[in-house]
C-alpha cells in the first residue's frame, strides 16, 4: 500500500507540473466561423485518429488516493457507492459524454501544439478525448495495481512500506487490503467499459454517416438486395412451418380496429370505465413483435392510455427525451428506403426537377426547410460535378427544424461539414449556411440572393408541423405566412412534398384518420420487411410509433402533425400567390418504371392534375408538386 501512495505522490507532482505548464499556454478561443477550414484537409490530407497528449491518467488519482488514505473506520461499502470522491471522478465522464461536438481552434498562442487536438481530428470524432482517456486509464491501472508477479521494490521502498503498514494498523479494523484493491479494479473496469462502449458507438456513427454521405444510393442498393434475401428466407420458413402443422381455423376473430375506434369514442366522451375496459381488451391483442395489427395496437394503446390518464403532454416530453442513436436511426432509414418507394420517389423527384431547372445556368441556391442529414444533396452534388460544361456554383441554406421536430444545431453543422467535404472531393464550388429563425420569420432578405442564381425552395413533409388556424384564430396561421414569404422569394421552383391526411376539428375524426394512415403504413411494413428485423421495430415503434402516440395523446401546441389533403394544400398555396407547374412526363415515367420494377406490386403511384401521388393498396398517402410565384415566367 505504501508503494501505491508513493506512486500517487509521483503522479501528483507530475500533475502539478502539467497544470503549471498548461496555465502558461494561451487559452483556446472559440471560432467564429460556422464551418472553419482545416489546412490539412484543404491540402488533401486526412486526419488520422482523434488523439492529443493530455495526461488523462491523472483523472483517477484523486479518487484512488482518497480510497487508500481514508481511515478504515470510515471506509465501507457505502463509500464506493455515494462517496463525494466517486461523484467527483464520475463528473468528468458525464461532461465528456454530454459535451457538444468540439469546434474550437487553437488561437495560435505559443503553446505546444500537441496539447490541443486539431480541428480536423475532432470534427471526425467528436469525443476525441475519450480515446486518450481510455489509454490513460489503462496505463494508470497497470502502474497502480500489481501484476501476476506482484510489486518489485528496492530496500528503501520496503522500509517505507513496513512503516506505513504499522501506522495504518492502528486505525483499521482488520480490513483486507485485497478487498479494497478488488473494489478499485471493479470500479475502474466498469468506468472503462462504459466509456469504451460510448467511444465505439461514436466511431460507428461516424463511419455510417461518412458512408451514407459518400455512397448513399449504393448503400440503399446493398440494403435492397439484403432485404430480398431476408424476405425470401422468411417466406421459406413460413412454408416449412405450414407444411408441418395443420391449419387451425379460429372463429374468434377480433376486429382490433373497431376496438380502437370504440375506445377513442369512450375517451372523447369521458366514459373512463368503458374506455379502460376496451383498453384492456386492446392490450390483449397488442405486441411489438406480432403481426401488423398487433404492432399497430401496441402503439395506439400507449397513446390512448396516456390520453385517458390526462398525461399526454408529460408522455410526449418523455418520448422526446428518448432519442434514438444515430446508428439506430440510419439502419431504420436504410430499411425504409429499401422496402418502400415513398422517400426514394420524393428524393428522385426533387433531384430531377433541380437538374432540369439548372440547365444552362452557372449558379444554384437551394433553401431547404427542416434539413437534417442531407444525404440526397450529396448525391445531387456528385451529379452536378459530372455535368457537361462543368459544375455550377452551389449554395445550400438550411433552415433549422421546427420546435416540435428539434434537431441539435451541432448536427446541422456536422451535416454542413460533410457536404463541404463531398463538394470538395467532387470538385463542385460550394458553400453552406444555416438560418436559425422561426420559419414564419424567414424572408427574402435572409437569403442574400445573387441575381444570376437559380433559386430552389424545398420542403420534404415538414410544413405539416406548422401551426394552422385551429391554434391561431385571430392571426394569419404560420403556414400561410411561410407560403407568402416563399412567394416573395420568387423561387425558380418550390418543391413541396406533403402527407395526405386531414385530422378535422374533433378528436374522434383525427383518431380515425390517423388509424387509417398508420394501418396502411404498418400493413406495408409487414408485406415488405421481415418481422424479426430490429430496424423494422425501430421504424415502427421508435419513429412512426412515437408520431402516432403524439397524434392520439396530445392537444394544442404539443400536437406534432397537422396534415392536410393535397387539395387543401393546393388551395392554400394559390391563396399565397403561388402557381402550380405541370408535371414533367419524363420524370413521371421514370419514377413509375422504378416502382414497377423494384418494389411491391401494391405500392401505388399516379397523377391527379399537377400532383404526383403515392400510396398503398389504393389509399393515397403522399403528394408531390412544384410551384412558382404568380408573376414568374418559370416553367
| Length of the chain as a residue count | 635
pLDDT confidence of residue 560: 86
Same domain, 272 and 387: no
Same domain, 459 and 571: yes
Average pLDDT rounded to a whole number, residues 233-251 = 63
Given a contact cutoff of 8 angstroms between Cβ atoms, the answer to whether 540 and 299 are in contact is yes
The sign one gets for the Cα dihedral 226, 227, 229, 234 is positive
* Cα distance between residue 419 and residue 213, in whole Å: 8
Same domain, 418 and 544: no
Confidence of residue 229 (pLDDT cuts 50, 70, 90): confident
Residue 363 lies in a domain: yes
Residue 151 burial class via C-beta count within 10 angstroms: exposed 0-12, middle 13-18, buried 19 and up? middle
* Cα distance between residue 209 and residue 635, in whole Å: 36
Which residue segment(s) compose the domain that 590 sits in?
341-502+564-629
Same domain, 436 and 454: yes
Q: Tell me which H or E stretch contains 281.
A: helix 272-284
Same domain, 378 and 460: yes
Average pLDDT rounded to a whole number, residues 388-414 = 80
Enter the DSSP assignment of 540.
I
Same domain, 421 and 481: yes
pTM summary value: 0.67
The sign one gets for the Cα dihedral 530, 532, 533, 537 is positive
Question: Helix 84-98 vs helix 177-244: angle between axes, to the nearest 10 degrees?
Answer: 50
Q: pLDDT of 27-75, one tens digit each?
A: 433 333 333 334 334 444 433 334 444 444 445 544 544 544 444 444 4
Same domain, 478 and 388: yes
Domain count, the chain: 2
Residue 456's SS3 state is strand
Same domain, 549 and 569: no
Confidence of residue 408 (pLDDT cuts 50, 70, 90): low
Q: Is residue 150's pLDDT more than 50?
A: no
In angstroms, how far is the first alpha carbon of the chain from the final one? 83
CA-wise closest residue to 151 among 177, 133, 190: 177
Q: Which residues contact 157 (CB under 8 A, 6 or more apart)?
A: 2, 3, 6
Q: pLDDT of 331-370, one tens digit each?
A: 898 899 889 999 999 999 999 999 999 999 999 999 999 8
Average pLDDT rounded to a whole number, residues 492-505 = 94
Residue 311 lies in a domain: yes
Given a contact cutoff of 8 angstroms between Cβ atoms, the answer to whether 498 and 563 are in contact is yes
Residue 46 lies in a domain: no
Same domain, 418 and 313: no
Tell me the CATH number at 421.
3.40.50.150
> What is the distance, to the nearest Å, from the Cα of residue 391 to the centroid of all Cα atoms in its chain?
31
Same domain, 558 and 577: no
Amino acid at each position: 500500500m505504501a508503494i501505491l501512495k508513493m506512486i500517487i505522490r509521483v503522479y501528483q507532482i507530475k500533475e502539478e507540473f502539467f497544470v503549471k505548464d498548461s496555465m502558461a499556454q494561451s487559452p483556446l478561443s472559440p471560432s467564429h466561423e460556422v464551418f472553419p477550414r482545416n489546412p490539412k484537409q484543404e491540402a488533401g490530407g486526412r486526419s488520422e485518429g482523434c488523439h492529443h497528449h493530455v495526461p488523462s491518467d491523472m483523472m483517477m488519482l484523486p479518487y484512488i488516493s482518497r480510497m487508500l488514505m481514508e481511515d478504515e473506520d470510515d471506509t465501507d461499502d457505502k463509500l464506493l457507492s455515494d462517496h463525494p470522491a466517486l461523484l467527483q471522478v464520475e463528473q468528468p465522464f458525464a461532461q465528456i459524454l454530454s459535451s457538444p461536438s468540439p469546434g474550437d481552434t487553437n488561437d495560435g498562442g505559443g503553446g505546444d501544439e500537441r496539447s490541443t487536438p486539431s480541428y480536423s481530428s475532432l470534427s471526425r470524432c467528436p469525443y476525441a478525448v475519450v480515446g486518450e482517456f481510455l489509454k490513460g486509464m489503462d496505463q494508470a491501472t497497470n502502474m497502480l495495481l500489481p501484476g501476476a508477479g506482484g510489486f518489485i521494490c528496492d530496500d528503501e521502498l520496503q522500509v517505507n512500506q513496513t512503516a506505513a503498514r504499522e501506522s495504518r494498523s492502528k486505525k483499521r479494523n482488520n480490513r483486507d487490503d485485497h478487498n479494497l484493491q478488488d473494489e478499485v479494479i471493479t470500479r475502474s473496469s466498469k468506468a472503462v467499459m462504459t466509456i469504451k462502449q460510448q467511444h465505439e458507438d461514436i466511431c460507428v456513427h461516424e463511419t455510417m454517416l461518412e458512408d451514407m454521405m459518400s455512397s448513399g444510393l449504393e448503400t440503399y442498393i446493398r440494403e435492397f438486395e439484403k432485404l430480398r434475401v431476408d424476405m425470401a428466407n422468411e417466406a421459406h420458413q413460413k412454408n416449412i412451418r405450414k407444411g408441418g402443422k395443420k391449419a387451425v381455423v379460429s372463429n374468434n376473430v377480433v376486429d382490433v380496429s373497431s376496438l380502437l375506434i370504440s375506445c377513442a369514442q369512450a375517451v372523447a366522451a369521458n366514459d373512463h370505465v368503458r374506455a379502460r375496459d376496451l383498453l384492456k381488451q386492446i392490450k390483449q391483442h397488442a405486441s411489438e413483435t406480432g403481426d401488423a395489427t398487433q404492432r399497430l395496437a401496441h402503439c395506439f394503446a400507449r397513446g390512448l392510455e396516456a390520453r385517458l390518464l390526462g398525461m399526454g403532454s408529460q408522455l410526449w416530453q418523455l418520448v422526446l427525451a428518448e432519442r434514438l442513436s444515430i446508428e439506430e436511426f440510419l439502419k431504420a432509414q436504410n430499411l425504409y428506403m429499401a422496402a418502400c418507394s415513398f422517400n426514394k420517389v420524393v428524393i428522385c423527384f426533387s433531384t430531377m426537377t433541380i437538374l432540369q431547372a439548372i440547365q444552362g445556368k452557372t449558379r444554384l441556391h437551394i433553401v431547404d426547410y427542416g434539413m437534417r442529414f442531407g444525404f440526397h444533396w450529396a448525391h445531387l452534388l456528385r451529379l452536378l460535378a459530372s455535368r457537361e460544361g462543368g459544375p455550377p456554383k452551389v449554395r445550400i441554406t438550411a433552415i433549422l427544424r421546427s420546435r416540435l421536430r428539434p434537431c441539435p444545431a451541432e448536427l446541422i453543422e456536422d451535416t454542413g461539414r460533410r457536404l463541404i467535404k463531398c463538394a470538395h472531393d467532387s470538385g463542385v464550388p460550394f458553400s453552406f449556411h444555416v438560418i436559425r429563425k422561426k420559419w414564419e420569420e424567414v424572408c427574402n432578405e435572409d437569403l442574400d440572393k445573387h441575381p444570376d442564381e437559380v433559386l430552389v425552395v424545398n420542403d420534404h413533409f415538414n410544413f405539416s408541423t406548422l401551426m394552422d388556424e385551429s391554434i391561431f384564430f385571430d392571426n394569419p396561421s404560420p403556414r400561410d405566412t411561410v407560403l407568402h414569404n416563399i412567394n416573395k422569394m420568387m423561387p425558380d421552383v418550390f418543391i413541396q412534398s406533403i402527407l395526405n391526411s386531414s385530422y378535422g376539428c374533433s378528436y374522434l375524426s383525427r383518431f380515425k384518420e390517423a388509424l387509417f394512415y398508420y394501418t396502411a403504413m404498418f400493413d406495408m411494413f409487414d408485406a415488405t420487411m421481415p418481422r424479426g428485423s430490429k430496424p423494422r421495430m425501430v421504424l415502427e415503434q421508435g419513429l412512426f410509433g412515437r408520431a402516432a402516440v403524439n397524434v392520439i395523446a396530445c392537444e394544442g401546441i404539443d400536437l406534432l402533425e397537422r396534415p392536410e389533403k393535397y387539395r387543401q394544400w393546393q388551395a392554400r398555396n394559390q391563396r399565397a400567390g403561388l402557381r402550380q407547374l405541370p408535371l414533367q412526363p419524363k420524370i413521371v415515367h421514370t419514377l413509375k418504371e422504378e416502382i414497377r420494377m423494384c418494389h411491391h406490386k401494391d405500392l401505388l403511384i399516379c397523377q391527379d392534375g399537377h400532383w404526383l401521388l403515392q400510396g398503398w393498396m389504393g389509399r393515397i398517402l403522399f403528394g408531390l408538386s412544384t410551384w412558382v410565384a404568380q408573376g414568374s415566367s418559370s416553367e
